[in-house]
Amino acid sequence: MTIDTTADPLGAAIKRVEDPRFITGNGNYLDDIKLPSMTYMSILRSPYAHANIRSIDTAAAASMPGVVAVIVGADIPYNPLPMAWPAGGVSGIQNNVNTPRALATDGVKWTGEGVAAVIAETPEQALDATEAIVVDWEPLPAVVDAEKATQPGAPQLHENAPNNVVFEWQVGDKAGTDAAFESAEVIVRQRIVNQRLIPNPMEVRGDIGWYNPGMDEYTVWMSSQTPHIQRLLLTAFVTGIPEHKVRCISPDVGGAFGTKIFCYADMALVMFASKLIGGRPVKWVETRSENYQSTTHGRDHITYLEAAANRNGEVQGLRVKTYANLGGRLSTIGPGVPTTLYGRVLAGPYKIPNVHCEVTGVYTNTVFVDAYRGAGRPEATYVVERAMDLVADELGIDPADVRRRNFLPNDAFPYDNPSGLGTAAGGAKIYIDSGNYEPALDKALGMIGYDGIEAAKAEARRHGKFLGVGLSTYIEVCGVAPSKWIGAVGEGWGAAMWESANIKMHLTGKTVVTVGTQPQGQGHETTYAQIVAHELGIPMDDIVVQHSDTQGTPFGYGTYGSRTSSVGSTAAIKAAGKIREKARKMAAHMLEAAVDDIEIDGANYSVKGSPDRVKTIQEIAFAIDLGFDPPEGMEPYLDETAYHDTPNCTWPFGTHIALVEIDEETGHVELKRYVAVDDVGKKINPMIVDGQLHGGIAQGVGQALWEGAIYDDQGQLLTGSMLDYTLPRASFFPNLELDETVTPSPVNPIGVKGVGEAGAIASTAAVANAVIDALSPLGIRHLDMPYTPQTVWRAIQGAKGGQA
Amino acid sequence: MIPAAFAYRRPASIEEALGMLAAEPGAKVLAGGQSLLPLLKLRLAAVDTLVDIGRLPGLRGVRELGDGRLAVGALTTYSDLLESPAKHYGVLRDALPHIGDVQVRNRGTIGGAIAHSDPASDLPACLLALDAELVIRSAAGERTTGVDGFFEGAFTTGLQPGELLTEIRLPGPRDDAGSAYVALQQSASGYALVGVAAVVFSGPRNGIAGAAIALTGVGEHAYRARAVEAALAGSDGSPASIAAAAAHATDGIEVASDIHADRAYRTAMAEVYTRRAIEAALARLR
C-alpha cells in the first residue's frame, strides 16, 4: 500500500491540539495535583525591605491546629541558590555574588523575602499559623533606585558588594567610540529610564516536594520552564542530593514570560520540608500578591544615552552607560540579562561603527530582576530606537529616513557588530547571518499611510488632540544559543544550550516524540507534531508530543529566548532523519533491494524505478519493532534520539509602527492603530505565530502606556496588586494589523527564527516614539514611560509653562 | 486568597436579618460580595460574623411608585438596573456599563455599593446628582433620608449599628432635565480617579435653571459640588459660563492624592470632567 502525502501539515495554520483540554478545564496545572497525605506550605515573608532579624518565635505557630512543622532558615543545611550567569565574556570582570537561601538567615533584603515556613494539614491552617510567627525585626534604611544605591552614603546591602555594585561590565571599543564623538557633527544625549515591570503569567508559581523514604528519592513538581536545569541546580548546587535521586516534573504551565526559568527558594524548601515530615508531599502555591513581591521582575534600567552622527543622520557612535537594578539578591541569570543580552546587541539593525556600553549591576532593596519576555533585547531596542528618533529630531530629518540611512545593507551579512556580539573572550563567534530591512520598513510605512500622517496631525490639532506616529525597526537575537558562545559570554556553570528530541515509532505506527524543551502555552504539542508529521509522512493524529518530566524526556535546557522552534525543532528533525535512515535500511531488506536504491516519498519507501515495490513507514516500523527478521546488525525498535547544538542564533527583524492620539486636556493616550511587519523566517504554524505576536505586542505596549512597578523609598511595593498595576486589556487595543516579509534563517532546516519575544521587543519603542512625536510640537523630546495620563498631562503643562 | 475564619449567617427574612444585626453589633452585612469578599480574602479586612442577605426575598428589583418615582431594591444588581426603567436616566446609562466587569455587574448590588461608600465608586455620585432617597430599616423601625449627607467618609456612612439599607428611591422623570456621567478611570482598577455626574435643568433661552453636580474619586467621599451648581443656576449655558462654573469643582474639598493621580492632577481633571459632564448633560437636554 501507499499513503497519500499531499497534505503536508508543516506551515499550516492548524488549531492547537492542546487547546481543547485547556479551554474545557481539563488541563493539569500544578495546583490541580492532589497527592495522598498531601500537606500545604505557607511562607512568612518580610514586611520590611531591609532589616536584621533579632529572633524568630515559632512556638505559638507550632501549637496551632493542623500544624505539622515550622521551619526557619537556620534549620536548612542547603547552599544558597546558584548564580548561573554572572556578567562575563570580558577579561577581569568581577561579580560580587549574593543569592537567596531557601529561607533568609542573614536578614532580609527586600519586602517579601521568605524568613519562615509553616507546613500544615490544610492551606488555611498553614496561612493562619504563619500569621502567628513572631519576628523581632531590626529595620534598616533602604534604597530602591539603582543609581542612588551606588552613591556615597547609600544604605549598604552586602559586605562583599561595596556601594551595592554587583559588577561593572563594559563592551565595545571605548577609544574608537570616544574618537567618533570628538569628530561628530551632531551629538544627542538623553537620560532614559526603562521602568521595572511585573511579568504576570496567568498561572502563578508553585511547587510540590515529595520525599519517598522507601526509595530515598525526591520528586519535585514545579511550574517551570526548565525542569531539567532545575534538577541539575537543585542537586549539584543547592541541596547536595545526588542528581539521579531527584525527578522534576513540570505539568501544564499557564504562562511564564521568563519568570519560570529560574531556581527559586521555594523549590528547595518543599524538598527539605517533605523529608523533614517523613515523606508526606508538601505543596506550595504562591498567591498573586506573593507573585508580585517575590517572583522575578523585569527591566529596571537607568541609562545615559549618547549618539554621535553626521549631518546626514548617519550615526557614527553610540555611547551608553546603564545602571541595571538586580534587586536585593541575584536571581539565577540576573546579571546575564543586562550584559550579554543587552550590551552586545545595542547596535540593532544599524551599521553604527562605534559602540561602547558600560553596565553597572546594582543591589537594591527590591525583589530580584531577571529575564522577562525579550530579556535585555527590549531594553537595547528601546535605547537604540530612541537614539534614532533623537538624531532625527535634532537634524530635522524624517525618522524613517534616518533609519534607512543607517540600516545594514543586504551585502553586509554575515555581520559582526561593534558592540561585541562576536568578540566574547575565548569564545565562538556569533554573527548576524541574514537580514533585509528596507522591504519591511516600506511595507509598514505603506500600511500606516505614512505620507498622510502630517495632514492627520493637523486635523487632530483642530480637535484638541495631538497625533503621533512612532517607528521601531528592530532586530532580535533568538534561537539561543551556540553552546561554545554562551559558555564564553559567562554561563557560570559552564552550561551549554543544545536541545534534544527522541522519536519512538511503535508497532502500531503510533509515534511518541519526547523533547527537552518545556512549553508554557506556546503550542509545542502542535508544532513538534507538525514537524514530525512532515518529516516522516505520518498523520499528526498518530503523534503525541511529551515533555516536562526529567524521567521521561531527554535532557534539555528548556524553553525561553525564542529557542524551541529553531534549536528544539532541529533536534526533532535530526531524530526523524535517523528514523528515516533506519527505515530505509529495513525497507531495502524487506524489498530485497540495495539501500541506495530505496526512494522515500513521505511515508512511502519504494525501489527506484519500481514504484509498485513499496513499503510504508508503518509497515517498516512494525517489522523493525517486532525484530523477527532484521537485516544484519540492525537492533530492534524504531527509537532514535538526537541532540542539536545550533551553529548560530537566529535574527528576526521587522518594522512596527504605532499611531497614538493624546487628549491635550487630560493627557490620556489612545493607541489608534498598530502596524507590524515581522520577518520571523518560515513559519511552522502561522496561526501560532500571529498569537505570539499579538501577545508580545500587547505586553510591549503595556510597558509604554500602563505598566510599572513602583516601590516607595522604604521599599514597599505600592503596585502590589492588579488594583494598582495595570495590565493591558483587549479593550485598550485597536485591531493589530500584521504583515510579514520572509527571509529564511540559514541556521536550521526549516528556516524558522522564533517569535516568542519579537512583539515585546519591538512594540515598546514604537509606542514611545509615537507619544514623543505627538508631543514634539510642544518642544518635548523625551519622556519616561509609562505614559499614564498624569505623566503626559504634567509634561504638557510643563512644556506650556503652566503650573504642574 | 484565604480569608481569616468568620461565622456565617443566612437569615430567611428581613426581620431575621435585622434581629441578627441587633444581636451582633460587630456583624457585617454581605450582599453581592464584590467589594467585601476580596477585602476579606486579601486579609485587608476581618469580621467576626457575616450576615448574608443576598437571597432575601423582596429586596431585588425596580418598581415604579405611584408618583412616577422609581424604587430600587437594595439587592438589585448593576445588570438589573441597566435593564430596568432606570436606564432612562442619562447618568446611570453612562455609568453602569463601565462599573467593574460583567461578573461584578451581575453580582454587585446597588445597596452594597452605597453602603460600602468607596471613595472612588461611581454610583454614589450618580445618586447624589439624582437627589436619591434612601430607605433604611432596623429592628426599631424604618426611616428615610436623602442621600446627600449619607456619605461621611471613606467606607463610612450614616448607617447606624443594626441598620440595613433596603431601598433607593429615584425621582420621577422630568422633561426639563438632562443628565450625564463621565469619568477618568484608573486603568488598573477601573475605579474613577475623577467621576462627575451632572443633572441639568433647562432655563429660558437655552439657559440653565439649575443643576445637581456630584463628584467621586476626588475627595474622601462622593460629594455635591454646590459652588458649581450655584454658578450654573440661572446662567446662559454658554461654554464660557460652564467652564467658569466647573472651576469650582473642588471648592472646599481636600483633594485626594495617590500614585495614579496626585493632588494637582486630580484637581485639574475634576475641573475638566465637570465641564465635560455638564456639556454632555446639556447636549441631551437640547
Strands (E), A579-711: 598-601, 604-607, 610-616, 638-644, 653-663, 669-679
Residue type, A799: A
Q: Do A289 and B42 touch (CB under 8 A)?
A: yes
Closest CA of chain A from B209, distance in Å: 28
pLDDT below 70 — which residues of chain B?
none
Write down the pLDDT at residue B163. Answer: 96
Nearest CA in chain B to A803: B264
Q: Locate the chain B residue with the closest alpha carbon to A705.
A: B187
CA atoms within 13 A on the CB side of A48: 17
Does any CB of chain B come closer than 8 Å to the CB of residue A793?
yes
A541: pLDDT strictly greater than 60: yes
CA distance B180 to chain A (A): 19
Record: contact B259-A719, CB cut-off 8 A: yes
Q: What distance in Å separates residue B227's CA from the closest CA in chain A?
A: 22
Residue A90 has pLDDT above 90, yes or no: no
DSSP type of residue A240: -
- Looking at residue A144, its pLDDT comes to 98
At A485, the pLDDT band (50, 70, 90 cuts) reads confident
Report d(CA B43, CA A207) in Å as an integer. 23
When pLDDT is cut at 50, 70 and 90, the band that residue A487 belongs to is confident
The DSSP code for A328 is S
CB contact under 8 A, B5 and A128: yes
Q: Which of B2, B259, B268 sits opposite A123 (nearest CB)?
A: B2
Question: Which of B2, B43, B182 should one mutate to test binding to chain A, selecting the residue with the greatest count of A CBs within 10 A?
Answer: B2
C-alpha cell at A200: 504576570
pLDDT at residue A531, rounded to an integer: 98
- Give residue-wise pLDDT tens across range A785-804: 999 999 999 999 999 985 44
**For B266, nearest residue in chain A (alpha carbons):** A790
- Identify any residues that bridge with A614 across adjacent strands, giving them in sequence order: A606
Instruction: Choose from B43, B258, B265 for mutation: most chain A CBs within 10 A.
Output: B265
Q: What is the mean pLDDT of residues A52-63?
A: 98
Sheet containing strand A67-72, edge to edge, reads A67-72, A114-120, A39-45, A282-285, A206-212, A217-222, A246-249
Sequence-distant (≥ 6) Cβ neighbours of residue B156 within 8 angstroms: B117, B221
Partners of A123 on chain B (C-beta within 8 Å) are: 2
* Digit-coded pLDDT (tens) for A158-176: 999 999 999 999 999 999 9
Question: Which residues in chain A are closer than 8 Å to B101, comparing Cβ atoms?
Answer: none
Computed over every residue of chain B, the mean pLDDT equals 96
In chain A, which among 749-788 make CB contacts under 8 A with chain B? Answer: 788
Residue pointed to by grid coordinates 450576615? B51
As given in the structure block, the three cell numbers for residue A560 are 525561553
The pLDDT, as a whole number, for residue A630 is 96
CB atoms B187 and A719 under 8 Å: no
Position A424 scores a pLDDT of 58
pLDDT band at A494 (very low <50, low <70, confident <90, very high): low
- Select the residue of A666, A710, A722 nearest B259 (Cβ to Cβ): A710
Name which of A16-30, A413-427, A447-461, A509-523 the model is least confident about.
A413-427
Neighbours of A163 (CB within 10 A): 15
The 3-state DSSP class for residue A213 equals coil
pLDDT at A420: 79
What pLDDT is attached to residue A426?
58
Q: What share of chain A is helix, strand, coil (3-state, %, to 5)?
A: 30, 25, 45
Q: Is there a contact between A789 and B1 if contact means CB atoms under 8 Å apart? A: no
pLDDT digits (tens, 9 = 90+) for A605-625: 999 999 999 999 999 999 999
Residues 69-128 of A with CB under 8 A from B: 123-124, 127-128
- Three-state secondary structure call for residue A691: helix
Q: Which residues of B make CB contacts under 8 Å with A? A: 1-2, 4-5, 42, 184, 187-189, 259-262, 264-265, 268-269, 272
pLDDT (0 to 100) of residue A804: 46
Task: Enumerate the residues of chain A whose CB falls inside 8 A of the CB of residue B268.
Answer: 793
> Which three three-digit cell numbers place residue A53?
532579624
Return d(Cα B182, Cα B249) in angstroms, integer.
Answer: 14
Decide if A289 touches B, using CB distance below 8 A.
Answer: yes
Mean pLDDT of A7-26: 95
d(CA A55, CA A61): 15
The alpha carbon torsion through B151, B156, B160, B164 (nearest 10 deg) reads 80
Contact A561, A229 (CB under 8 A): no
- Tell me the residue type at A379: E
Longest dimension (CA), chain A: 92
Burial of B85 (0-12, 13-18, 19+ CB in 10 A): middle
**Cα gap A603→A791, rounded to integer Å:** 62
Instruction: Please report the sign of the dihedral spanned by the C-alpha atoms of residue A684, residue A687, residue A690, residue A694.
Output: negative
Compute the radius of gyration of chain A from its Cα atoms. 28
Question: In chain B, which residue's Cα lies nearest the Cα of A721?
Answer: B188
| pLDDT digit string, tens, across residues A188-213 | 999 999 999 999 999 999 999 999 99
- Is the pLDDT at A321 greater than 80, yes or no? yes
Q: Nearest-CA distance from A165 to chain B in Å?
A: 29
Q: Are A655 and A472 in contact (CB under 8 A)?
A: yes
Q: Give the closest of B4, B5, B260 to A790, CB-based.
A: B260
- Answer whether A706 touches B (CB < 8 Å): yes
pTM, to two decimals:
0.96
Output b/e per residue, A616-644; b: 16+ Cβ within 10 A: bbbbbbbbbbeeeeeeeeeeebbbbebbb
Q: Of A411, A523, A403, nearest to A475 (Cα)?
A: A403
Q: Is B259's CB within 8 Å of A128's CB?
A: no
| ipTM of this predicted structure | 0.96
> Using one digit for the tens of pLDDT, what is the confidence trace for A548-600?
999 999 999 999 989 999 999 999 999 999 999 999 999 999 999 999 999 99
CB contact under 8 A, B184 and A723: no
Q: What does the pLDDT average to over A706-716?
A: 98
The helix/strand/coil state of A503 is strand
Q: What is the pLDDT of residue A483?
A: 87
Residues of B in contact with A790 (CB under 8 A): 260-262, 265
| Chain A nearest-CA residue for B191 | A723
